[in-house]
Amino acid sequence: MVQDKKTAEFFATQQRDISVSEFFEKNKHLLGFDNPTKALLMVVKEAVDNSLDACEEARILPDIKIKIKTKDNEVYTISVEDNGPGIVKEQIPKIFGKLLYGSKFHKLSQSRGQQGLGISSSVLYSQLTTGHASRIYSRTGSSTKTHLIHMRLDTMKNEAEITKEEILSEGDRNSMKNSGTRFEADVIGRYRKSQGVDEYLEQTAVANPFAKIEYQSPDGTELNFSRAVNELPKEPKEMKPHPYGVELGILMRMLKNTKSRSISNFLQNEFSSVGSTSANEVVKISKIDEKKSPHDFDRDESEKLLKAMQKVKIQRPPLDCLSPIGKDALEKGLKKLYPNAEFIVSHIRPPEVYRGNPFIIETAIVYGGDLPKEDSIKIIRLANRVPLMFQAGAGAANEAITTTAWKRYGLQQSGNGIPSGPAVIIVHMCSTWVPFISESKEAVAPYPEIVKEMKLALQDCGRHLGMYLRKQQKAKQETRRLHIFEDYFPLFIEISKELAEIKDKIDVRPLIENVINKGLVEDKEIPGEKQSRSSSGED
Amino acid sequence: MVQDKKTAEFFATQQRDISVSEFFEKNKHLLGFDNPTKALLMVVKEAVDNSLDACEEARILPDIKIKIKTKDNEVYTISVEDNGPGIVKEQIPKIFGKLLYGSKFHKLSQSRGQQGLGISSSVLYSQLTTGHASRIYSRTGSSTKTHLIHMRLDTMKNEAEITKEEILSEGDRNSMKNSGTRFEADVIGRYRKSQGVDEYLEQTAVANPFAKIEYQSPDGTELNFSRAVNELPKEPKEMKPHPYGVELGILMRMLKNTKSRSISNFLQNEFSSVGSTSANEVVKISKIDEKKSPHDFDRDESEKLLKAMQKVKIQRPPLDCLSPIGKDALEKGLKKLYPNAEFIVSHIRPPEVYRGNPFIIETAIVYGGDLPKEDSIKIIRLANRVPLMFQAGAGAANEAITTTAWKRYGLQQSGNGIPSGPAVIIVHMCSTWVPFISESKEAVAPYPEIVKEMKLALQDCGRHLGMYLRKQQKAKQETRRLHIFEDYFPLFIEISKELAEIKDKIDVRPLIENVINKGLVEDKEIPGEKQSRSSSGED
Amino acid sequence: MNIGKDVVKEIKQNKVPHMNIPIRSTSNIVYDEKNLCYILGNREFSRSAGNIRHIKKMTQLVKVADFSKQLVKEGTRHVTKRELYYISESWGEKLKFDEQPESDEIVEDIEAMISEPREAINIIPNPKGSIYGDIAMRFKNPKGKMMTVNCLDTADGQQIGPRMTEAEFAKTSANIIIAIETTGMYNRLIEENAHEKFNALLINLGGQASRSTRRIIKRLNEELKLPVYIFCDADPFGLHIATVIISGSAKSAHVNKHLCTPRAQWIGVTATDIIEYKLRSDKLRDLDIKRIKELQVDPRYEKDKRLQQELKVWLKIGRKAEQQAILRYGFEFVVDKYLPAKLKELKAPGIR
Amino acid sequence: MNIGKDVVKEIKQNKVPHMNIPIRSTSNIVYDEKNLCYILGNREFSRSAGNIRHIKKMTQLVKVADFSKQLVKEGTRHVTKRELYYISESWGEKLKFDEQPESDEIVEDIEAMISEPREAINIIPNPKGSIYGDIAMRFKNPKGKMMTVNCLDTADGQQIGPRMTEAEFAKTSANIIIAIETTGMYNRLIEENAHEKFNALLINLGGQASRSTRRIIKRLNEELKLPVYIFCDADPFGLHIATVIISGSAKSAHVNKHLCTPRAQWIGVTATDIIEYKLRSDKLRDLDIKRIKELQVDPRYEKDKRLQQELKVWLKIGRKAEQQAILRYGFEFVVDKYLPAKLKELKAPGIR
């Protein structure tokens, strides 16, 4: 066979750009659109996450309405509406019609969405499966009108393709009452009760006890979660990177782009937790001329600087960039969801750091009530207030739970398994950067620093649970003590007399009174009392 | 607390584009750069995959040289050189310096790389961890000279940033001898023998028996794989999408962009396996006016067309787009890797289709020789001739292997586990689109159609293995047959006489000769012979 | 035993010798309405000396047959199956058994071929159990001398061994036989003088009755016409002990008619007794329940209304008890109240 | 038994009564060089009637003591531990035992307190084993009448039950005692007339010797000065059977000195025999090896050179055999060659 050799020139004609939309269109499973069941949930989840983020940033107590309708159990129309600030008309095509566009990616701050992928991928999935345009309603205030934009996503250009624009009159039944955003899309999906939208919203309510959520499911049932607290959480601040978490390539870029003229200023301005003392110490240790402009650093100097940064002891990152649910709000939220629970406890860990990113772990345990006694406990995993619904076995929470010894806290556990008993365990991680194990954000990567904090928090909750259960136990025993003594003592004396063949009348009542009154009734084991028995039940 | 409400206008100022490089820089674990050990392997793997693809497309028998050096066991310098067609200078910055750029993404054809992510992410990882530029040497033919380009990746622009360009003189020791490409990069990595580069190259040699691979490892040892066959595999053809695998959104885009004027032509030109008969049938079933221009189709008409396409019986996709390793080449490659193996068998399945994508499964089993007898068998998983090194438990091959009953084929297996015994199992899937479970291409998604084909192929190999093992067994038994008969028959008669208290002399020799000569010695079980025994070994 | 003769006959006719052996697997076990027990059907399989999978077994079979023929001739020795296995070593490499199940199978093949229990050819099961009460036994001692012993003249009863099993019944005043599952209850009945009160022979089964004990019960029943009453734990295992004495086991279908006592009766302890006497009880295990359900459809007991009723009660209460649980009413209750009531219900002779 | 009297004394002194009970756990077991067995040390623990964890057990203890005192007085009844457990139901809710281990523990507490085995208070173990040979036994029958029986006049030996255990030894011509582990070998020795050949009483242990059997062996040894030889399987379990007869078990340290026969000797089958007689053998299990290693450092056998030598051989060959494996040489070998050689080596009286 003659081989027709192709040249480098020929290949050059074949190569071209791939748009990020095309990439994710072909790889939609990477964004969580693996199958119709999951896809339905993902669209709801991305829209609700965006709504909660928008309300929280605008300091508005969120009021979210979710409706899912279907005629044929194949195509589902999803509508998610919030009372947030709305979106200015020009931004709508970008936010909903462009993958990798958003406000959170370049900041370090705690938020639900991060990568600017979620809601536009819903638009993409919708048009891919049903061909329909998505509808975005937005009103930015009561003085403006509701805009309605119908749009698709042009995957080759990674741009929105607006198919229709309307301004709704105040009387229109689709007009928004106040400021807010409503997202509507049609997707091919499948609805199921468990591990689906219902459970996701239930857990979202626990993670966001300040939100009001109204939900109408495809089968027509309504599920409403009212607010458990009436205050928004403290607004998390944006932070700068911490010196301990930066890589050489990033540092070089920062040096090149900084406006600071001196290296000491550079360190103080571009990083968090660096004051003049530590900045100067870094410069000193690096042995680089302190007058050298950051722009003139070459690779080797950058590397020296990086090593110096890691040698100097620098404070932890600031904590105001994190906003945990909080002990009170978390417990109130759980009480609402489990009104019959016998015992609820939560624990919030002090902030910790992994790879320069600050994070806080919160955990809670709900015990008793209507919870099934025999099953494995239920686990609710949250990251930046967002429920994680899939890959339960892979994440950090699973590792933390299965490597904790639950027996001592009163739950059943066989080997290193998920404990069982009438309990729910909640594990929440909030951070400026949550390390997910995939883009579809299904589980938190089990970094040792994170697993350790989760375990410490769980152990604290566990100790409280154990104490509660032991106290319950003890109270029951206490009442039986005196009873036993009064029951057996006269009988003991009676039989002993018979054994000794002594007929004298002996009144033991005074002795009994005496022992009880003096508090001499004991309840303790004696060393050596446990007699060794190799077998039992001989004939 | 007064809440400062932020408006939609304020938020609009916060939002911006995220470049795909920035995205993957922050999410590098998604590309397989989870940790130093894996990162080192990924860089080698991406470069070797590119080299093999280039040689194969240019119909050149590949000759690949890999060198890895380190001074401090932290920074590793990796060099991968091929004898392919080289790359024209203008394309180098795009191929190596831009994520999502390549020739394979928009085509349907079998190739190693697909998404245009791999080699540029290596450049990205290299600069992120060491700050160094990567070096690309390229020579497009013996009449041209070797170009050397030093470059980094500007993540904000997703573009190459060339730091130095050279043209090497023929005498320069770095000059390439003939056409080809050499990629050099420095990364922070960790080298280990098992599940690392060595094993990857060994498996690559099995999957590409026509390639010559020379490898110098960080510890200085050299590993060379010579060619097992001297012919390149048949070149896989590019294919058009198959009507059964298309989604509504994609179909709508194709209708809009087609050059065909009639719907029947559109179907025949833009899809594979559609002739005029089936095209006309589709049009008929769709009940759309056959004269309507494809450009004028609205959504609902597109949907009708799609449903009609799925109703009409259309041939399978063409098979010349696939290029399996082949029974002969695969077995030769395995024989080279396991020269002492007792038995090697392979099986190639006829092409099948999942979601409109054609694919072929090949499997092989190597048995005996130096392989450890007690361990779990070794599994080599290949996809489009590329070894899959991680997530062995998650993929289709694992599911196919563990749900096959290996005991009947002579391997040990407890429950639904990985079988054990002195064996290696090879599973190769080639397809125009391999469904990986993550971008880092670590495992093939376990779609039922794929798992089924894998099982059928494995069962065929298993049957051959079983037959071989049973034949070995049988030969041994045969020789013992006559021996037993001649041994026992006289004794049997002797004791029977004693039992009957008969003293007559009986010469049994003639009867023995008679039975043997007439071939009357039997060796079979009689129905009912197995007497039921509920217990054994009574006193 | 014509086994040897048949072989020699075929040889002389210049044929490859064969043997027909009754099939003992479940498929060839049938219920014999006449003998009221399971027996083997007519199906046989044939071993041919020309089949190398058979020739060794056939040779070993004639060897075992020849060996036990010598034992019977000699008259004072008995071997257990285990002993046979070890003794086979003295027969040389070709004939010795590699595993005991091999020799056991051949012993059972011979039993089936000659339609007699192996005791008849002096291959005996391990003895277990003992007898107490007024009966004089005539037996041959190891030296071949005939002797007589009365089972009332011993301290704790006569051990049932190979000689006892074969003894002649010289004289007895007993009216009935009570066979007792546990050694504890057997001793209790001795100490409470049950043998006098009921004019009974007391037989200690010591759990599942050994073949020797089943054989001696059958002989006492048939030769002396003494009715037999079986007193067991109130659980399916106890009931099983009783049913094995009454109708034999499927496993020994080939010799059942020589071992079982079809007219023997089960006293209890019954499921109803557990309720009536409020006995200390344990939950039935899954295995127990399975066994009860099997017994409900067993052709041997389909028509036994009392048994069927008890099985129903068992399933309903889901509990089982030991026979000694009756001791909750003290020592005498079992002979003063419990057994008299039971024996009266079963119409035992001499009980008012 | 002063248990009751001590309680009443303390009550009269207006004290909360207590009881001291010897500790039976391993930490309080010591080797008694005089009696050549493990016995309990001096440590005791104290139960107080004022401790609610103790009061119920103490009440049950005096009840059991009182109950068995009545048995002893009456003189014809014995109960097993299981029977005791069931009988406790008749004592009412407060005194009855919920689980048998509870009553068992109290029986052992009493044994330790009175320093006598429970047989002395008519709480008997389940009997097992039998005796064959020329010895006349005088026993009290259930009605209290004294009777005599010779163990040679029975078919398969006299069952060792509660009455046999307490029997007087009226007359014997025997010189030695051979105790045999398996029923199979016991029957073999009867049938080979070993009792005559060695002038021996043959005792069938039936596996691990029951307490009754150990007791009767000790009595025969002490009262009639008959030397005892123990013939077991060639494995650590067989050896264990021998050592329990010789020195008792740790579990029964509190009564060992009433049960063990320190001068009894182990015949074998020894590890050396396995090699010498080429016996059919199986691999030692891990458990066997562990047991052998324990015996190597056991203070009771440290100075027994023959035993230590055999233990070494055992570990070396790594195999075990059953005593019946000697049958590879036919029936008579065991009495004609094997036992004579062994008894001679152990200097048994009357053996040339």
Residue B369 is classified by DSSP as T
- Nearest CB partner across the interface for D24, out of A488, A520, A532: A532
Which residues are CB-contacts of A522 (< 8 A; sequence separation ≥ 6)? D48, D50, D51, D52, D53
Q: Which of A499, A512, A515, A520 best tests the D interface by mutation, with the highest count of D CBs <10 A? A: A499
Q: What pLDDT is recorded for position A526?
A: 61
Distance of alpha carbon D2 from alpha carbon C349, whole angstroms? 50
Q: Has residue B429 got a pLDDT over 90?
A: yes
Q: Specify the 3-state DSSP secondary structure of A148.
A: strand
Q: What pLDDT is recorded for position B362?
A: 95
Average pLDDT over residues C56-68: 93
More confident residue, D110 or A390: D110
Q: What is the pLDDT of residues B29-61, one digit of tens each?
A: 777 787 888 889 989 998 999 899 889 888 899
- Nearest CB partner across the interface for D45, out of A485, A529, A538: A529
- Nearest CB partner across the interface for D159, out of C156, C163, C167: C156
Do the chains contact at B538 and C65, CB–CB below 8 Å?
A: no
Q: Specify the 3-state DSSP secondary structure of B435.
A: coil
Q: Out of A480-494, B98-112, B384-398, D143-157, pick the least confident.
A: B98-112
**Selection from A314, C143, B84, C98 nearest residue D282 by Cα:** C98
Distance of alpha carbon D19 from alpha carbon D44, whole angstroms? 10
Identify the burial level of A221 via C-beta atoms within 10 angstroms of its C-beta, where 0-12 means exposed, 13-18 middle and 19 or more buried.
exposed
Q: Which of C38, C85, C86, C132 is catalytic?
A: C86
- Closest residue of chain B to D183, computed from CA coordinates: B539
- Same domain (yes/no): C298, C172: yes
Question: C65, C97, C124 — which closes off a domain?
Answer: C124
Residue A444 is classified by DSSP as B
Q: Report which secondary-structure segment, H or E, holds B150.
A: strand B146-154
How many interface pairs between C and D have CB atoms less than 8 angstroms apart? 146
- Same domain (yes/no): D90, D162: no
Residues in chain C with CB shorter than 8 Å from the CB of D145 are none
Q: Has residue D217 got a pLDDT over 80?
A: yes
Average pLDDT, chain C: 89
Angle between helices B197-207 and B327-337 (to 10 degrees): 140
In a 13 Å sphere around the CA of A465, the CA atoms on its Cβ side amount to 29
User: Which CATH number fits the domain that encloses residue C215?
Assistant: 3.40.1360.10
Question: D107, D124, D141 — which closes off a domain?
Answer: D124
CB atoms under 10 Å from CB of B388, counted, come to 24
Distance of alpha carbon A121 from alpha carbon B112, whole angstroms? 27
**Selection from A409, A199, A210, A226 nearest residue A328 by Cα:** A210
Both tokens assigned to C202: 């007391």
The rounded average pLDDT for each run of 10 residues, N- to C-terminus, in chain A (539 residues) is 57 69 74 83 90 88 94 91 89 81 68 73 88 90 87 84 88 86 92 86 92 92 91 84 85 88 90 89 88 88 89 84 90 91 93 86 93 88 89 84 91 87 94 78 86 95 93 74 81 89 83 74 62 43
Q: Does A495 touch chain B (CB under 8 A)?
A: no
Domain for residue C245, yes or no?
Answer: yes
More confident residue, B508 or A440: B508
Q: Which of D86, D229, D301, D329 is catalytic?
A: D86
Domain for residue D351, yes or no?
Answer: no
Q: Which residue intervals of A338-447 are DSSP H helices?
A: 396-402
Residues in chain A with CB shorter than 8 Å from the CB of D53 are 522-525
Amino acid at A498: E
| Angle (CA) D157 D162 D165, round 5° | 65
Residues in chain B with CB shorter than 8 Å from the CB of D183 are 539
Q: Has residue B114 got a pLDDT over 70?
A: no
| Strand ranges for chain C from DSSP E | 18-22, 29-32, 37-40, 44-48, 130-132, 135-140, 146-150, 158-159, 168-172, 176-180, 200-204, 228-231, 265-268, 282-283, 319-320
By the 8 A CB rule, do D87 and D60 touch?
no
By the 8 A CB rule, do D40 and D114 touch?
no
Average pLDDT over residues C285-301: 88
- Same domain (yes/no): C341, C219: yes
Distance of alpha carbon D30 from alpha carbon D40, whole angstroms? 6
Chain A nearest-CA distance from D213, in A, is 16
Both tokens assigned to D242: 């021998």
Q: Specify the 3-state DSSP secondary structure of D133.
A: coil
In a 13 Å sphere around the CA of B199, the CA atoms on its Cβ side amount to 17
Average pLDDT over residues C102-121: 89
Q: What pLDDT is recorded for position B439?
A: 60
Chain B nearest-CA distance from C6, in A, is 8
Chain B nearest-CA distance from D128, in A, is 17
Instruction: Work out the pLDDT band at B513, boundaries 50, 70, 90.
Output: confident
- Same domain (yes/no): D108, D241: no
- Same domain (yes/no): D39, D64: yes
Termini Cα distance of chain A:
90
| Angle (CA) A276 A277 A282, round 5° | 95
Distance of alpha carbon A150 from alpha carbon D63, whole angstroms? 92
Query: What are the Cα distances from residue A6, in Å, to A9, A14, C352?
Result: 8, 12, 114
Q: What pLDDT is recorded for position A90?
A: 85
By the 8 A CB rule, do C320 and C234 touch?
yes
Both tokens assigned to D74: 């009456």
- Same domain (yes/no): C151, C198: yes
Which residues are CB-contacts of B225 (< 8 A; sequence separation ≥ 6)? B201, B202, B205, B211, B212, B213, B214, B215, B336
Residue C34 is classified by DSSP as T
What is the domain extent for residue D25? Answer: 3-124
By the 8 A CB rule, do D149 and D220 touch?
no
Query: What are the Cα distances from residue A441, in Å, to A53, A389, A532, C187?
Result: 16, 9, 56, 75
Residues in chain C with CB shorter than 8 Å from the CB of D203 are none
CB atoms under 10 Å from CB of A257, counted, come to 11
**Selection from C48, C95, C15 nearest residue B491 by Cα:** C95
Q: Which residue intervals of A116-196 are DSSP H helices?
A: 118-130
Q: What pLDDT is recorded for position A534?
A: 40
The CATH architecture that domain B243-311 belongs to is Orthogonal Bundle (1.10)
Interface chains of chain D (3 or more CB pairs under 8 Å): A, B, C
More confident residue, A131 or B8: A131
Q: What pLDDT is recorded for position D352?
A: 66
- Same domain (yes/no): C32, C154: no
Distance of alpha carbon B153 from alpha carbon B128, whole angstroms? 10
Q: What is the pLDDT of residues D240-270, one digit of tens each?
A: 999 999 988 877 888 888 889 999 999 989 9
Domain boundaries, chain B: 20-225, 243-311, 327-467, 468-521
Q: Is C338 one of the annotated active-site residues of the chain?
A: no
Query: What are the Cα distances from residue A78, in Å, to A42, A183, A189, A211, B249?
Result: 11, 8, 10, 20, 18
3-state DSSP helix/strand/coil % of chain D, to nearest 5: 45, 20, 35
- Same domain (yes/no): D254, D111: no
Q: Residue written as tokens 């008995």?
A: C78
Q: What pLDDT is recorded for position A106?
A: 63
Residues in chain B with CB shorter than 8 Å from the CB of C25 are 528, 530-532
Q: What pLDDT is recorded for position A533?
A: 46
User: Which CATH number fits the domain that encloses residue D10?
Assistant: 1.10.10.10
Do the chains contact at D86 and C280, CB–CB below 8 Å?
A: yes
Q: Out of B176-190, B269-283, B432-446, D119-133, pick the least confident.
A: B432-446
Distance of alpha carbon D211 from alpha carbon D127, whole angstroms? 8
Do the chains contact at C86 and D327, CB–CB below 8 Å?
A: yes
Q: Has residue B460 got a pLDDT over 90?
A: yes
Amino acid at C160: I
Q: Which fold has domain A327-467?
A: Ribosomal Protein S5; domain 2 (3.30.230)
Q: What pLDDT is recorded for position B115?
A: 66
Phi, psi of B185 (to 5 degrees): -150, 155
By the 8 A CB rule, do C253 and C22 touch?
no
- Same domain (yes/no): D170, D68: no
Average pLDDT over residues D156-178: 91
Q: What pLDDT is recorded for position A478?
A: 64
Q: What is the pLDDT of residues B62-72, one digit of tens each?
A: 999 999 999 88
Q: What pLDDT is recorded for position A256?
A: 87
Q: Out of B180-184, B446-450, B529-533, D327-331, pick the least confident.
A: B529-533
Q: Is the ipTM of this structure higher than 0.85?
A: no
Domain for residue C351, yes or no?
Answer: no
Average pLDDT over residues D78-92: 88
- Closest residue of chain D to A508, computed from CA coordinates: D11
Residue B192 is classified by DSSP as -
Termini Cα distance of chain C:
50
- Same domain (yes/no): D191, D318: yes
Distance of alpha carbon C177 from alpha carbon C203, whole angstroms? 7
Strands C228-231 and C265-268: parallel
Q: What is the pLDDT of residues D125-142, one digit of tens each?
A: 877 889 999 999 999 888
More confident residue, A82 or B504: A82
**Selection from B154, B394, B29, B35 nearest residue A434 by Cα:** B29
Interface chains of chain A (3 or more CB pairs under 8 Å): B, C, D
Distance of alpha carbon C342 from alpha carbon C340, whole angstroms? 5
Domain for residue D108, yes or no?
Answer: yes
Both tokens assigned to A83: 């009372």
- Same domain (yes/no): D94, D140: no
Distance of alpha carbon C217 from alpha carbon C165, whole angstroms? 9
Distance of alpha carbon C125 from alpha carbon C215, whole angstroms? 11
Q: Specify the 3-state DSSP secondary structure of C259.
A: coil
**Selection from D174, D173, D81, D164 nearest residue D129 by Cα:** D164
Distance of alpha carbon A425 from alpha carbon A341, whole angstroms? 13
**Selection from B317, B324, B315 nearest residue B236 by Cα:** B324
More confident residue, B98 or A86: A86
Domain for residue C205, yes or no?
Answer: yes
Chain D nearest-CA distance from A490, in A, is 9
Instruction: Work out the pLDDT band at B12, boundaries 50, 70, 90.
Output: low
- Same domain (yes/no): D60, D169: no
By the 8 A CB rule, do C36 and C300 touch?
yes
How many domains would you assign to chain C? 2
C-alpha dihedral, C92 to C93 to C95 to C96, nearest 10°: 90
Decide if domain A20-225 falls under CATH 3.30.565.10. yes
Residues in chain B with CB shorter than 8 Å from the CB of C124 are none
